[in-house]
Amino acid sequence: MPTLVDQYKPLSAAIGSPKLKTVPKAIYDHLRGFPVINGEVTQLSAKVREFVEQSAKLCQPEKIHIVDGSEQESNSLLTMLQSQGTIQALPKYDNCWLARTNPADVARVESKTFICTEKREQTIPTPKEGVSGALGNWIAPDAYEQAIQARFPGCMNGRTMYVVPFSMGPIGSPLSKIGIEITDSAYVVNSMRIMTRMGDEVLEKLSDNSDFVKCLHSVGTPANGKISMPSWPCDPERTIILHKPATNEIVSYGSGYGGNSLLGKKCLALRIGSTIAQHEGWLAEHMLILGITNPNGDKKYIAAAFPSACGKTNLAMMNPTLPGYKVECVGDDIAWMKFDSKGQLRAINPENGFFGVAPGTSSATNPNAMNTIYKNTLFTNVASTSDGGVFWEGMENELAPGVHITDWLGQPWRLGQSKTPAAHPNSRFCAPANQCPIIDPAWEDNEGVPISAILFGGRRPEGVPLVYEANSWSHGVFIGSAMRSESTAAAEHKGKTIMNDPFAMRPFFGYNFGDYMKHWLSMEQRAATAGGSVPKIFHVNWFRKNEQGKFLWPGFGENSRVLDWILRRVDGEECYQQTPIGRVPTPGAINMDGLAQRVDEKQLFSVSKKFWLKEVEEIKQYYDAQLPLDLPQQIGKELQELRSRVEEM
């Protein structure tokens, strides 16, 4: 009889697994007979070991791989993924890879995402009778268990179960949180290595009774057992993303895509994160963080919440067109923010990489992103070129002459002729943050960077000015709660409709949005008690259009002109005029010197009574339908006051 070690040596060699650590047999017994092909069980704290054992018992993998985070490990997993046809090499660049997913698995699935609490109203506001709630999905504890039992038993049969220890936030920062993701996807392991701090170093931080967020993920297998695309197994029919804040648990089944499978991101850092933040008195938000230095050398940090695919990555990495300004990037998607002992709001980026929208990214619009992604990057669902590179909509001017393009589905594609997009509209690059040429020197500071202003924004083709400032903190919280935006390809929504997306968090709230607003309102007192104050709040809209459907504002680097005005407002300059909706720049206050395109400032800043009466009415209808019982009084009052001001226009 060969020993277990002998038995599995050839297997691990076959998949090009990293060095097999010889493990005493007793340890296999500990993991109930599941062979461990990488790492050592003794590395695991008691609680982690228990979680791994329970997961293995449920999922019945062929073997277990404790991920160490090394380059050697990553390389061998990439080689394996390549031999399976999941990824292809992009020899034009350095260590870059392209994954093509099953076309049925290309975005987050909001309708299949649930939060589990004892009572429904802990998760979602109670809508008006006959109205379906649009602020998250609740699942009862017994249904949660059933959902798991209907999908997970034996789901990793014949597969490797990877144990991924990761830290959201710099390892050891008092603001960071540790998670353990168990997954049967090597694509996920490699993506997590980019997006989080991952591997041995994280395990070392966990003592026997340290807590961590338990994340269980499987790409699944369809109920009929037929995997339609073996290079990208998934189970779209039964996909489900579950969260249980009471026990800090995340369970995801059926999808390998982004926010559905890289569980540190939206699941931990936002949904579970927001519930932890509520208890601990801080904020977990869908926000970029940037540092901006003005020509006098004065540096400030700004956080901004825009819905998915509405410009966070672009703003976070912008090259200002205004002379003398410098922008540096702390993070492009998520901010964890807490008032320090002096009452100054401080933010960390819990992530370690960028999972950015590819289409629209180019040397003209975001050169810093382009200079980040040509090494050590994992692309998903972009098009490829015959010279071993990538292509997507927006890169037309960067094509080498004579190259052929293969679209994201693997079909030949011709510029100017093909009727379908070359890259999926939600195709992404996954690249290490420290490769960004303008990464902020303080981006990994344990204490976080001081935040001077908070921006809300969205895609508003009509009626909403380029920028306006809230009159007060509670007015700002109201503006966040009333955010709306044109839907994008980042989730499963069809067509372009204006959707409510409060705080850009609609898909990511971990608890009742009414309580979330109360939590935000309470920050003013929290700051004051500590001897500080809350940052100013602004609303921006880069996407207003004229009658011909053309953008009124050039956007991208030109947005520095808006940031300049915002910074001057933070410094107390009287460069605003009061309107019913808030404070807008006085004519001429936005620096338009040297702007390449002529801008219709009047149209860009106009605040129309007709539009805003309708907007106020629609916000009211939204609150009445979605939050008849849960709307904080203060927010109702802000809406009332806005209505009166608009009526008096």
Dist CA 156 CA 132 (whole Å): 36
- How far apart are the C-alpha atoms of 404 and 400, rounded to whole Å? 9
Q: Kindly give the pairing relationship between strand 213-218 and strand 240-244.
A: unpaired
DSSP state of 350: -
Residue 101, C-beta contacts closer than 8 angstroms, at least 6 positions apart: 232, 234, 256, 257, 380, 381
CB 258, min distance to ligand GTP, A = 9
535 binds ligand SPV (CB under 6 A): no
Report 364-393 residues binding ligand GTP (CB under 6 A): 365
**Binding partner selected for residue 258 from ligand SPV, Mn ion, ligand GTP, none, CB under the kind-specific 5 to 8 Å limit:** ligand SPV
313 binds ligand GTP per the rule CB under 6 A: yes
Catalytic status, residue 234: no
Choices 151-159, 259-267, 458-466, 615-623 (CB under 6 A): range interacting with ligand SPV: 259-267
- Interstrand relation of 160-168 and 63-66 (parallel, antiparallel or unpaired): parallel
Q: How far is residue 61's CA from residue 57's CA, in Å, rounded to a whole number?
A: 8
Minimal CB distance residue for ligand GTP: 360
CA distance 41 to 21: 11
Closer of 428 and 484 to Mn ion (Cβ): 428
Which of ligand SPV, Mn ion, ligand GTP, none sits in contact with 306, Cβ below 5 to 8 A by type? Answer: ligand GTP
Q: Stretches 160-168, 301-309, 435-443, 518-526: which one binds ligand GTP (CB under 6 A)?
A: 301-309
Residues 349/162, Cβ–Cβ less than 8 Å? no
Q: How far is the CB of 497 from ligand SPV (least distance, A)?
A: 17
Q: Does 356 bind ligand GTP (CB under 6 A)?
A: yes
Q: Kindly tell me which of 117 and 362 has the beta carbon lying closer to ligand GTP.
A: 362
Q: How far is it, in rounded angstroms, from Cα 208 to Cα 625?
A: 47
Subset of 296-335 contacting Mn ion (CB under 5 A): 308, 333
Q: Could you tell me which residues are beta bridge partners of residue 539?
A: 456, 468
Q: 265 vs 459, which CB is nearer to ligand SPV?
A: 265
Q: Give alpha helix (H) positions in 60-166.
A: 71-83, 120-123, 141-149
Per partner kind, with CB cut-offs from 5 to 8 A, the member of Mn ion, ligand GTP, ligand SPV, none near residue 266 is: ligand SPV
Asked if residue 188 lies in contact with residue 256, where contact means CB atoms within 8 angstroms, the answer is: yes
Q: Among 152, 374, 408, 556, which residue sits at the site for ligand GTP (rule: CB under 6 A)?
A: 556
Interface pick for ligand GTP out of 68, 332, 407, 615 (rule CB under 6 A): 332
Task: Decide which of Mn ion, ligand SPV, ligand GTP, none touches 536; Cβ closer than 5 to 8 Å per partner kind.
Answer: none
The helix/strand/coil state of 95 is coil
Measured distance CA(13)–CA(19) in Å, rounded: 9
Applying CB under 6 A, the span of 149-157, 159-167, 310-318, 337-345 interacting with ligand GTP comes to: 310-318
Of 265, 271, 484, 561, the one binding ligand SPV (CB under 6 A) is: 265
Cα distances from 182 to residues 32, 252, 355, 356, in angstroms, run 17, 10, 20, 24
Query: Which span sits near ligand GTP by CB under 6 A: 137-145, 237-245, 311-319, 532-540?
Result: 311-319
Pairing of the two strands 177-183 and 36-38: unpaired
DSSP string, 120-178: HHHHS--PPTTPPP-S--EE-HHHHHHHHHTT-TTTTTTSEEEEEEEEESSTT-TT-EE
Task: Enter the tokens of residue 396.
Answer: 């037309």
The total number of residues shown for the chain amounts to 649
Catalytic residue among 310, 329, 430, 436: 310
Of 342-381, binders to ligand SPV (CB under 6 A) are 355
Instruction: Return the SS3 of 621.
Output: helix
Q: Which residues are catalytic?
A: 310
The residues that touch ligand GTP, with contacts defined as CB under 6 A, are: 306, 308-314, 332-333, 356-357, 359-360, 365, 490, 542-543, 551, 555-556, 559
Q: Which residues bind ligand SPV (CB under 6 A)?
A: 108, 258-259, 265-266, 308, 333, 355, 490
- In the complex, which residues of this chain contact Mn ion (CB under 5 A)? 308, 333
